[in-house]
Amino acid sequence: MSMSLSFGAELRRLREERGLSLDGLARRLRYSKGYLSKVERGERAASIDLARRCDAALGAEGSLSDLVRGASGGEHAETGEEGGVSGRRELMAAGAFSLLALSAAGRPAGVRGQVGAAAPVEFGPTVLLREEYDRARRLGQCVDPAVLLPLLVEQGRTTARIAASTTGRTRSELLLLASRFAEFTGWMAQEAGDTRAALTHTAEAVDLAEEAGDQHLASYALVRRALVTFYDGDSAQTVALAAAAAENRKLPHRIRGLAAQREAQGHALAGDHLRCMRSLDQAHDFLASADRDGASGPLIGTSNLPDPAAMVTGWCLYDLGRPQEASEVLDRECARIPAHALRTRTRYGLRRALAYAAAGEVDQSCAVAGELVGIAGEVRSATVAADVRRLDRELGRFRSHRAVRELQPALLEVLADRH
């Protein structure tokens, strides 16, 4: 029996022995019933913080904590990423953007050392960890995702541990932030080419969001799964998953818009122009409403596209076999991507180069790609590499063209480096 399963079985035994329902224990511990149910079934490993709370609630005198501590060596060593625990420690020791450094340097200048200031600036774990999250998102735009992953995992777990030590609104805010860390970790895992880890981290994000009282992220997880099937070229599954995500009409506009975008991409893969455009119209309307809502908190999905629906329209037009139209849209939208968003610029810029190549505008395609292949080699992305391969195949029709011959070594270098 695994340690997670033995802990869950003992938790259930003690709970039932005390005559306490799962719902009653959940209310007492301020955890969701669904989350505790997964712990009892051995589907989720319990943290030491949860074990301690269960000990107190059930009068178990530390027996549950002992079970978790007995498994701590194996639990902490299992990162699910390359490099393991030693690689993670090296990254944390290097101080890429550690909490300690942020505590010392991230406090607003007007607050540090000013006790009783007339106009205090909000300062606390939520503010600091939100800055940490924003830094991680920016870093994810310019570094190899495989290198960043161990640090993201640690930051997310740290945020969840801090949340467990707080109560009330702060606890909910930190759990929600931990869920965003897990969701972003899932995206970086996909960028690193590890689809299984991507889905695992996304599922963790859903659990954390549910703990925070946010029931909507489960629908967004379907959108993320649809992205996996989209890159696998499975149009039917992409449409089905995205449509399932959008079934809940009470979802925030942002998630409904992202679901409609993904559904449009699935229809484009299937060659269904009418349904694709209809879904894109819905995406545009929902995302525009989301912008008007002005929701606070970490943004779900990309934060580097001024008009995501417009950019995805260009992408879909390429998949629909309309490269000329696609290049016109992508020209306009790529010019609006912030300069610092290297990964985003590379992804959509290469799609722009693809559109030009498919439209037979070889010189323009090579010029666009030539500006991006160096960045592609630095940020390293499985999804970008897929488009580099497509571009190499697309330009293969023009091997005798001088611009293609000059570009090909750089394309091959990116692919060889990724391999």
Query: pLDDT by residue (tens digit) across 160-192?
Result: 999 999 989 899 999 999 999 999 999 999 999
pLDDT in tens, 70-79: 665 433 333 3
Q: 382: pLDDT confidence band, cut at 50, 70 and 90? A: confident
pLDDT exceeds cutoff 50 at 230:
yes
pLDDT in tens, 258-291: 999 999 999 998 888 999 999 999 999 999 998 7
**What is the reported pLDDT for 295?**
61
Give the span between the Cα atoms of 328 and 344, in whole angstroms. 18
Domain map of the chain by residue range? Answer: 3-72, 125-215, 336-419
**What is the reported pLDDT for 269?**
86
Q: With beta carbons less than 8 A apart as the criterion, state whether 276 and 268 touch.
A: yes
**What is the reported pLDDT for 418?**
59
Give the span between the Cα atoms of 60 and 19, in whole angstroms. 14
Task: Answer with the residue of higher pLDDT: 337 or 63.
Answer: 337
Produce one character per residue of 89-115: b if its CB has 16 or more CB atoms within 10 Å, e if not. Answer: eebbeeebbbbeeeeeebeeeeeeeee
Task: Answer with the residue of higher pLDDT: 97 or 413.
Answer: 413
**What is the reported pLDDT for 117?**
42
pLDDT exceeds cutoff 80 at 361:
yes
pLDDT in tens, 196-206: 999 999 999 99
**What is the reported pLDDT for 327?**
96
Q: Kindly report the average pLDDT of the chain as a whole number.
A: 83
- Give CATH for domain 3-72: 1.10.260.40
Q: What is the mean pLDDT of residues 357-386?
A: 89
pLDDT exceeds cutoff 60 at 368:
yes
pLDDT in tens, 290-331: 877 666 667 788 888 999 999 999 999 998 888 999 999 999
Q: State what percent of residues in the chain have pLDDT above 70.
A: 84
The answer to which of 46-50, 90-94, 361-365 has the lowest mean pLDDT is: 90-94
Q: CA angle at residue 354 from 137 to 202, to 5 degrees?
A: 30
pLDDT exceeds cutoff 60 at 109:
no
Q: CA angle at residue 191 from 185 to 192, to 5 degrees?
A: 90
Q: What DSSP line would sit under 236-296, residue for residue?
A: HHHHHHHHHHTT-TTS-HHHHHHHHHHHHHHHHHHT-HHHHHHHHHHHHHHHHHHHHHT--
Residue whose entry in the numeric block shows the structure tokens 């970008």: 384
Q: 53: pLDDT confidence band, cut at 50, 70 and 90? A: confident
Q: State what percent of residues in the chain have pLDDT above 90.
A: 49
Task: Answer with the residue of higher pLDDT: 115 or 134.
Answer: 134
pLDDT exceeds cutoff 90 at 62:
no
- How far CA 37 is from CA of 46, 53, 76, 174, 378, in Å, comes to 11, 16, 22, 22, 43
**What is the reported pLDDT for 2?**
57
Task: Answer with the residue of higher pLDDT: 99 or 195.
Answer: 195
Produce one character per residue of 213-233: b if its CB has 16 or more CB atoms within 10 Å, e if not. Answer: ebebbbbbbbbbbbbbbbeee
pLDDT in tens, 91-107: 333 333 443 343 334 44
Q: With beta carbons less than 8 A apart as the criterion, state whether 289 and 253 touch.
A: yes
pLDDT in tens, 110-130: 334 343 444 444 568 888 899
pLDDT exceeds cutoff 80 at 392:
yes
Task: Answer with the residue of higher pLDDT: 207 or 66.
Answer: 207
Q: 89: pLDDT confidence band, cut at 50, 70 and 90? A: very low
- How far CA 363 is from CA of 71, 117, 135, 374, in Å, comes to 59, 61, 37, 18
pLDDT exceeds cutoff 70 at 219:
yes
